[in-house]
Structure 1
Amino acid sequence: MDTKPLLGGLLAVLLALAAPARAHQVEKRFPVTERPLITIRNAHGKIRVQSWSQPEVRVVATHPSNKVEVDAEQIGNRIEITTHRLSEDLNPSEWVADYQITVPEEAELQVHTDSGDIYVERVFGDMSFDTVTANLELREVAGYLVIKTIGGSLVCIRCAGRLDFRSISGSIRLLEPMTSNLYAQTSSGSIFFDGEFLRGGMYRLQNSSGPIEVRFSESNSFELSAKSVFGRVESNTDLRPRAHSPEAFTAPRGARRMLSGIHNEGHAKVELVSFSGTITIRKRD
């Protein structure tokens, strides 16, 4: 008995069953001029944005369900990318779309999503992110960066420009930051800063109950004000009193609830505020 037709038919059936998991993919390209604006609206899924030297926006979207539709359209120099639900009978595992988007370096971004992971690398235009629980990683970006989230966290690596982060329970980690204007606020999340305070920069980090930790180098120059109302402030560095306000200066080392003073010439202004969390100020070895 020749089994080849039977095996061939079985293989065709298996391929047909496997095809839907890979079939829903959309790729579109849009020619743009300088500083295009890309808006992304997605409920759940991964969003990855990277830059290239082409005056073009490329969108590659994948989704597992035929109950979901991905739409990308161009209006002038603006690109609108949206995930639509085509059925009310949609479970959470189907309400997902993943995006890989390539943009010019000077592009601006507006991202609205509920959950998933967002990754942006080497994009230098202004950006805003509005999320529920989505986690965000920014790497070597610049511009005016605004992040609003309920429970999502932010990792920012070598970020420049101006950064405004606000969250309820999300945490923020700033590694080798190059920003001169930073505002970070979270209720119960942690805040971690490891880098340099730039000359003339303004930095305010505050939360209610999470830890705040700041690490800096011996050569860094800043004026510090740190206060935890019901927590404590820990430091391993010596500060000198600010002129005209010696009463605000407290003992240079150990644990306390408030610490203020100047390190080197005081070229940047740093404010650390917590209600009940621990604030840690560490000079790197």
Structure 2
Amino acid sequence: MKLFSSNTRKPVTILSAVSSILIVLAASSFALAQQKVSRRFPAGKNVRFELKNVTGTITVETWQRDEILVTALMDTRKATFNPRQTETGLVIDIVGDNRGRGDIGDMNFKIQLPARSSVDLETRSGQISVSNIQGDLVRAHIWTSGDIQLSGVNASRVFASNTSGDIFFDGEFASGGTYEFKSGRGTISLQLPANCGFHLVATAPVKKISMGPFWDDTKMKLLGEGRRITGDVGDGRASVTITNFQGEIKFFRR
């Protein structure tokens, strides 16, 4: 028994074919609108890299070559960037390069550079991820919303801040180093080796600070009904300041 005649099926078949064509055309148009650019720049062992993005992800990784590889994926061909080499490294200013161009969409960056580099990164919104940097400075700032992840970082100065989003730090504190973490709303997590030493000033909402295995009754003080913890962990030679206005602060041991 035939439930549908051949004439009944034809409109359905044609409609499906048209829908498939439209989907393919839309995907092709989006792919054509995107632009991928890769550029290489010579670099020494100790370089400084600066990037000011508008929106999009920033991923920084290290490698063994004495050069910086910048790979950018741009949502629109209207966007542009003009890296500028300096005596100490490389500067990319997306905000300045695209001033007056209107909405340029997301610009997603992947940066590969020597491990001894210093990095200064910021974006209005998006994610920032930094891995295995061993230079003097790591700065990651998100003006509005986005997560920050710093893994395998061993720098003498680290600054990470956002308005909304999580901040994760897995690294070591250098003796005499300065470390500041600040979030308007999100969770700030620090994963540290057991033998680390630092002086801590941590501020968060009531009972939102968890020191875990790093709490020491003899060296630390709980102030303001649990809103602030001050004191030393180990030798206390690094300075660590953590501020979270509407989220938790958590410490973990590796």
Cα 1:225–1:63 shift into 2, 3 Å: same
Report what 1:102 is aligned to: 112
- 1:192-271 alignment, distance < 5 Å: 196=194, 198-199=196-197, 201-209=198-206, 211-216=208-213, 223-229=219-225, 267-268=234-235
For the residues of structure 2 that align with 1:46 and 1:82, how far apart are their CA atoms? 15
Cα 1:225–1:281 shift into 2, 3 Å: farther
Consecutive unaligned residues in structure 1, runs of 5 or more: 1-9, 179-195, 233-257
For the residues of structure 1 that align with 2:249 and 2:186, how far apart are their CA atoms? 19
CA contact (8 A) 1:197 1:268 kept: no
Q: CA deviation at 1:102?
A: 0.1
Letter of the aligned partner of 1:53 in structure 2?
Answer: Q
The answer to whether 1:139 aligns with 2:135 is: no
Q: Which has the higher strand share?
A: 1
Deviations 1:82-112 (A, max 9, x none): 223365442xxx4210000001000001112
Deviations 1:160-215 (A, max 9, x none): 3342113333431012x14xxxxxxxxxxxxxxxxx3634x212211245711111
CA contact (8 A) 2:138 2:159 kept: yes
For the residues of structure 1 that align with 2:240 and 2:45, how far apart are their CA atoms? 37
Cα 1:112–1:279 shift into 2, 3 Å: closer
Consecutive unaligned residues in structure 2, runs of 5 or more: 1-20
CA contact (8 A) 1:212 1:277 kept: no
Q: CA deviation at 1:32?
A: 1.1
For the residues of structure 2 that align with 1:52 and 1:31, how far apart are their CA atoms? 13
The answer to whether 1:174 aligns with 2:184 is: no
Cα 1:272–1:222 shift into 2, 3 Å: farther
Cα 1:149–1:271 shift into 2, 3 Å: closer
Letter of the aligned partner of 2:159 in structure 1?
Answer: V
CA contact (8 A) 2:71 2:111 kept: yes
How many residue pairs match? The answer is: 220
Q: Which has the higher helix share?
A: 2
Letter of the aligned partner of 2:196 in structure 1?
Answer: L
CA contact (8 A) 1:28 1:72 kept: no
CA contact (8 A) 2:180 2:240 kept: no
- 1:38-53 alignment, distance < 5 Å: 38-53=49-64
- 1:29-68 alignment, distance < 5 Å: 29-68=40-79
Letter of the aligned partner of 1:151 in structure 2?
Answer: S
**Any idea what SS the aligned residue of 2:72 has?**
strand
TM-score by length of 1: 0.64
Cα 1:113–1:272 shift into 2, 3 Å: closer
**Any idea what SS the aligned residue of 1:128 has?**
strand
For the residues of structure 2 that align with 1:164 and 1:207, how far apart are their CA atoms? 14
For the residues of structure 2 that align with 1:215 and 1:61, how far apart are their CA atoms? 40
Letter of the aligned partner of 2:43 in structure 1?
Answer: V
For the residues of structure 2 that align with 1:18 and 1:48, how far apart are their CA atoms? 23
